[in-house]
Structure 1
Amino acid sequence: MSESRKENTTTTVGILEWFRPGEYEEVRNAIQDLKALGISHLRTGISWADWYVEGTPEWYDWLFPELSEHVEVLPCFLYTPPSIGEMEKTSSPPKNLKAYADFIDLMITRYGEHFEWVELWNEPNNKVEYDFTLDYSWTKFSRMITMAAYWAKKQGKKTLLGE
């Protein structure tokens, strides 16, 4: 390996850990474990459905600053609130496809200082994550993600799509 190649090589280690609202002690323990393992990047799920549960906004008010103080955070935003889905389940497309973009806009406005990237949905090809039987042509999903990506970019964020 050439000297210039050695100088530019860095190793970044990341991990996935999803926390449920109210798991304060689990987050503190995870941060200690991440530090001990030398892990500097964390991908975590942020439930759109949970946003409407009492206490969840306060949970995220605590979670984002707490995590970003120790690791680079990649939030993955998913799970339709059942009350606004075509069917009453978190994997359903929302009746109003723009509602997901509105949620992304809200989350970036409120917490965007704590992350550079956003992941728009997770494993949409997994029926548990996104019920594609309600959207065989993937038209609804594509519109929903396109609108969300547009607002994320307008807010200065980079986007990626889970596979």
Structure 2
Amino acid sequence: AGDKPVWATEVGVGSFGADEVQVFGLERTAQLLLGRVPNVYWYSLFDLPQAWGAETRHREAEGSSYYRHFHMGLIRADGSPKPALESYARVADRMGLMQWFHFEDPRLDDAVRIMQDLGVRKLRTGLSWADRFRPGALDWFDRQMEALAPFEVMVTYCFTPEHLGVEAHHTSCAREPQAFADFCAEMTERYAPARPARAAVRA
């Protein structure tokens, strides 16, 4: 074992089988990881609406695994809380949330309000390379990142544009890796610009 810290950036148990399974999974995860791992992020706050479809490579060909994607949240797509939300509330100040937001996601403001009410401090989310090619992409990214400013945000750069992938799907490797690197650099400079080093103090 090395001396590097381990971050659990996406842990979760869905309610696909039963709400009680999710409650047990959340409470057991908290028991095993909190206090041992410096950063833990529960996936996720909201269920994925069925009408949106899950961002997976093979979709329904994955069988029941595909449908589990729609039941990972602590809050149902209709806005009603699941029993596991109460369990999460007890550890929200120590266990972050991992929540993807779709382009112009109508849930963004509700998510911010709910997370603040819960006392969430840390959030993992994503900025989509594929979305960067949509009209108004930067306006949406700006709105998303401004809304999430109250939290300590860890951003994942994700989702290959179909026209730039080796294959035409979002999980494909990029045909032009430099183009992805340029996107990462653009987003980093926009939302986490380098801070000038503090000048040395002379006696």
The answer for the alignment partner of 1:118 in structure 2 is: none
Please say if 1:34 is aligned against 2:115.
yes
The Cα of 1:107 is off from its aligned counterpart by: 0.4
Equivalents in 2 of 1:75, 1:108: separation in Å?
9
Query: Hey, what does 1:103 align to over in structure 2?
Result: 183
Greater relative contact order structure (CA < 8 Å, 6+ sep): 1
Partner of 1:94: 174
Aligned ranges 1:104-143 → 2 under 5 Å: 104-113=184-193
Greater helix share, 1 or 2?
A: 1
- In structure 1, stretches of 5+ residues that fail to align are 1-10, 114-154, 157-163
Say what the alpha-carbon RMSD is for the aligned residues: 1.6
Q: Distance in 1 between matches of 2:117 and 2:157?
A: 27
Aligned residues: 103
Aligned to 1:15: 97
Question: What amino acid sits opposite 1:45 in the alignment?
Answer: G
Of the two, which has the highest radius of gyration?
A: 2
SS at match of 2:171: coil
TM-score with structure 1 setting the length: 0.58
Q: Deviations over 1:48-94 (max 9, x none)?
A: 111101122210011112211x1111111111111111111111111
Letter in 1 for 2:95: V
Contact 1:64 1:111 in 2 (8 A): yes
Contact 2:112 2:147 in 1 (8 A): no
The structural deviation recorded for 1:12 is: 2.8
Contiguous gaps of at least 5 residues in structure 2: 1-92, 196-203
